[in-house]
């Protein structure tokens, strides 16, 4: 592709992106295609001869786009958001054009130094003390895996990477059953094994870990010859927004010498608003914390903020330094590839810099406060509608509800979710609460307006009357 053609198609792609964002409300939120429909339109074999960009771009619009679920749609109320504020998209254009591999300080000093500054900006924004240092991981899954590996190494006196797990007693990690499945994967990948993830019962409206049961489980494991290593607490669990009492979890951990990792992947963004910090009171005592600016804050995926009290422990666990990765003649530098599992690293800090400077914390706080207010109002309206039950009360902008119907309530509510998503005006997902199906609603899309919450109310009530 020559320079003139590159210029033309770069401009074309940027203009397409603007028009796409402007027209999102005209599209159904979830893709309406059937399984295999997209694959059936794609050639069976790669082309021997290159094709014209006009043809490729046309196929992108006619084949690919009908099969896309629109995560930037203002009425995307499913899962958690994966926001990409327009200013973040602009920053990603630049990152893509520069195409740097930012694994070491010397491979792009600006990327490393900007990352250090942006993580400190985020640390200040969410109220963590200066004792924490940060790194951008690709996802909360990677941050949690890194934390579990540190737990493992500390528990094995820093010999696990060298000797493996076979010669040692079982390592035990503790969490509630409200944590994300990424915790299970971290336990698998770390070699600790699913049987050694001890699930602590929950209590209270926020479904937090019972810390009396937690302390008892740790003591029982130690008496049985196991090695208690760490606790994974959550703030804003995926299913219903469960929140552990972080201060109590930390207290138990300190009594037993355990590492504490706090997974606040979704809810952590809300901590830029001081009034929501009660949900993770005591977080300053944790050893590591993760939240995803790519969820609720507007930074394009992937961008996960991982804060650690002891960077030395993280580097000691993960760093490998062959000669070809050493930087000679420079003191006091950070190589962030030594803070994460992958060696390769994208220039993720640029979109944070653009985002925080363009919107400012005040703008982002207002967005989050709006989402919380609109979600709480919707929950109240549904509570007052005949046949509706609020199953779990709003935690920030997340709540769950159920509609009464027929002899099989679970089947009825699953049918309602399907009808809503097939309708296309909004997108919701289901969960299980105490063994029964409930429907989740969370407000968090960057361009959502109050009218979108109104559309959600009308759609849910209208279709509930039609589903038998």
Closest by CA position to 393, among listed 203, 229, 206, 133: 206
Q: What are residue 454's DSSP bridge partners?
A: none
Q: 207 with 176: CB under 8 angstroms?
A: yes
Q: What confidence score (pLDDT) does residue 165 get?
A: 85
Q: What is the mean pLDDT of residues 178-203?
A: 87
Beta 398-403 vs 436-442: how paired, if at all? antiparallel
Q: What is the pLDDT of residues 240-278, one digit of tens each?
A: 889 999 999 999 999 999 999 999 999 999 999 999 999
Cα torsion angle, 141, 142, 146, 147, sign: negative
Length of the chain in terms of residues written: 468
User: Residue 209: pLDDT above 50?
Assistant: yes
User: Residue 47: pLDDT above 80?
Assistant: yes
Would you give the end-to-end CA distance of the chain in angstroms?
57
Beta 398-403 vs 388-395: how paired, if at all? antiparallel
User: Residue 11: pLDDT above 60?
Assistant: yes
Q: What confidence score (pLDDT) does residue 204 get?
A: 81
The residue written with tokens 């609720």 in the block is 296
Pick the CATH number of 101-346 from 2.130.10.10, 3.40.640.10, 3.40.50.720, 3.20.20.80: 3.40.640.10
Taking all residues of the chain, what is their mean pLDDT, rounded to a whole number?
Answer: 92
What six digits make up the tokens of 399? 């709540």
List Cα–Cα distances, 180 to 32, 144, 236, in angstroms.
28, 10, 10
User: Residue 358: pLDDT above 70?
Assistant: yes
Cross-sheet strand order for the sheet of 171-176: 133-137, 304-308, 288-291, 259-263, 227-234, 171-176, 197-200
Q: 270 with 288: CB under 8 angstroms?
A: no
Higher pLDDT: 424 or 343? It is: 424
CA distance 407 to 398: 27
Q: How confident is the model at residue 332 (pLDDT cuts 50, 70, 90)?
A: low
What six digits make up the tokens of 268? 């952590």
Among 291-305, 325-339, 378-392, 411-425, name the one with the lowest average pLDDT: 325-339
Q: Is 120 exposed, middle or buried (0-12, 13-18, 19+ CB in 10 A)?
A: middle
Q: What confidence score (pLDDT) does residue 180 get?
A: 74
Q: What percent of the chain has pLDDT over 70?
A: 97
Show me where the domains of the chain are located. 101-346
User: Residue 406: pLDDT above 60?
Assistant: yes
Q: What confidence score (pLDDT) does residue 328 get?
A: 40
DSSP E strands: which ranges in 205-315? 208-209, 227-234, 259-263, 288-291, 304-308
Q: What is the mean pLDDT of residues 137-144?
A: 91
Higher pLDDT: 373 or 320? It is: 373
Residue 318's region, left for phi above 0, alpha for psi from -120 to 50, else beta, is alpha
Closest by CA position to 194, among listed 159, 137, 148, 235: 148
Q: 244: which residues sit within 8 A by CB, 6+ positions away?
A: 176, 208, 209, 233, 234, 235
User: Residue 322: pLDDT above 70?
Assistant: no
**Residues 176-196, buried b or exposed e (16+ Cβ, 10 A)?**
bebbbebbeebbeebebeeeb
Q: What is the mean pLDDT of residues 122-130?
A: 97
CA distance 243 to 283: 12
Q: What is the pLDDT of residues 335-349, one digit of tens each?
A: 888 899 888 898 899
CA distance 465 to 443: 23
Q: How far is CA 355 from the centre of its chain?
A: 18
User: Residue 329: pLDDT above 70?
Assistant: no
Q: What confidence score (pLDDT) does residue 436 get?
A: 92
DSSP category for residue 302: S
Q: What is the mean pLDDT of residues 24-51?
A: 92
Q: What is the pLDDT of residues 56-109, one digit of tens each?
A: 999 999 999 999 999 999 999 998 999 999 999 999 999 988 888 888 887 888
Q: How far is CA 166 from the centre of its chain?
A: 33
User: Residue 326: pLDDT above 70?
Assistant: no
Ordered DSSP codes for 373-391: HHHHHHHHHHHTSTTEEEE
């Amino acid at each position: 592709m020559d320079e003139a053609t590159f210029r033309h198609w770069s401009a074309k792609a940027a203009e397409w992106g603007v028009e796409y964002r402007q027209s999102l409300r005209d599209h159904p939120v979830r893709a309406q295609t059937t399984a295999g429909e997209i694959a059936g339109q794609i050639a069976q074999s790669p082309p021997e001869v290159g094709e014209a960009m006009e043809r490729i771009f046309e196929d992108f619009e006619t084949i690919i786009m009908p099969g896309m679920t629109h995560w930037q749609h203002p009425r995307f109320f499913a899962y958690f958001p994966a926001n990409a504020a327009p200013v973040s998209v602009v920053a990603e254009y630049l990152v893509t054009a520069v195409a740097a591999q930012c694994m070491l300080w010397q491979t792009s000093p600006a990327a490393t130094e900007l990352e250090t500054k942006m993580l400190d900006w985020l640390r200040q924004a969410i109220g963590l003390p200066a004792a924490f240092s940060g790194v951008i991981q690709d996802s909360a899954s990677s941050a949690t895996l890194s934390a579990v590996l540190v737990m493992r190494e500390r528990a094995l006196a820093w010999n696990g990477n060298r000797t493996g797990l076979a010669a040692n007693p079982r390592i035990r990690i503790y969490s509630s059953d409200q944590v994300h499945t990424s915790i299970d994967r971290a336990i698998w990948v770390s070699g600790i094994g699913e049987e050694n993830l001890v699930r602590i019962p929950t209590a209270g409206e926020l479904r937090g870990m019972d810390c009396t049961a937690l302390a008892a489980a740790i003591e029982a494991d130690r008496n049985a010859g196991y090695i208690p290593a760490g606790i994974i607490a959550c703030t804003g669990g995926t299913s219903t927004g469960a929140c552990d009492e972080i201060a109590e979890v930390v207290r138990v951990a300190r009594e037993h010498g355990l590492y504490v990792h706090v997974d606040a992947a979704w809810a952590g963004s809300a901590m830029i608003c001081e009034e929501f910090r009660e949900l993770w009171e005591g977080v300053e005592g944790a050893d590591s914390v993760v939240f995803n600016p790519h969820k609720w804050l507007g930074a394009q995926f992937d961008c996960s903020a991982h804060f650690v009290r002891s960077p030395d422990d993280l580097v000691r666990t993960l760093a490998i330094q062959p000669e070809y990765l050493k930087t000679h003649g420079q003191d006091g530098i950070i190589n962030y590839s030594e803070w994460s599992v992958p060696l390769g690293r994208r220039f993720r800090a640029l979109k944070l810099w653009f985002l925080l400077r363009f919107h400012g914390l005040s703008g982002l706080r207002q967005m989050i406060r709006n989402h919380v207010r609109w979600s709480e109002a919707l929950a109240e309206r549904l509570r007052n509608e005949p046949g509706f039950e609020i199953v779990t009360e709003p935690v920030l902008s997340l709540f769950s509800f159920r509609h009464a119907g027929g002899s099989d309530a679970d089947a009825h509510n699953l049918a309602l979710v399907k009808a809503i998503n097939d309708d296309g005006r909004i997108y919701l997902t289901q969960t299980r609460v105490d063994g029964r199906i409930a429907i989740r609603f969370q407000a968090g899309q960057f361009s959502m307006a109050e009218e979108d919450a109104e559309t959600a109310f009308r759609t849910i009530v209208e279709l509930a009357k039609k589903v038998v």
